[in-house]
Each structure stands twice: as structure tokens, then as C-alpha cells.
Amino acid sequence: MQEGPFSTKEIIGQIENNQLSVYRYVWKSGLSGWCLIKDRPEFNTVNTSERLATPLG
């Protein structure tokens, strides 16, 4: 299911509030395809070991 568009700030807020997993896919103009949130540098601040250890959520 596709949702959005969301800003980077909105996505970070959803992750910090445990509403979104870093194992969800994101896309933005300029990318060749969908990427996991955890693999995007703009979300490095929310890639904590606890979040990376919990792939579902």
C-alpha cells in the first residue's frame, strides 16, 4: 500500500513515535527505485540499534 507524500521530518517523527518501522520502503524523485528507510542517509539519526533489531512494526 502506498501512502504519502510525507516530508523527511514527518517520517522521522513517525519513526520516533513508533508509528513507522525503519524497515518500510520509501521513494523520492531522483531515486531509481524504492529503498528501505534504514538505508537512506537522511534517516541516519533514527537508525538506532533497537529499531534496527526490530524489522517488523
In a domain, 2, yes or no: no
The answer to whether the CB of 6 falls within 8 A of the CB of 15 is: no
In a domain, 3, yes or no: no
In a domain, 19, yes or no: yes
pLDDT tens-place values along the chain, 57 residues long = 778 899 999 999 999 998 999 999 999 999 999 999 999 999 988 877 777 676 654
Separation of alpha carbons 17 and 21, rounded Å: 10
Look at the chain and report how many structural domains it folds into: 1
In a domain, 57, yes or no: no
User: In this predicted structure, what is the pLDDT of residue 32?
Assistant: 94
Q: What is the domain extent for residue 24?
A: 8-52
In a domain, 45, yes or no: yes
pTM, two decimals, is: 0.80
Separation of alpha carbons 18 and 29, rounded Å: 26
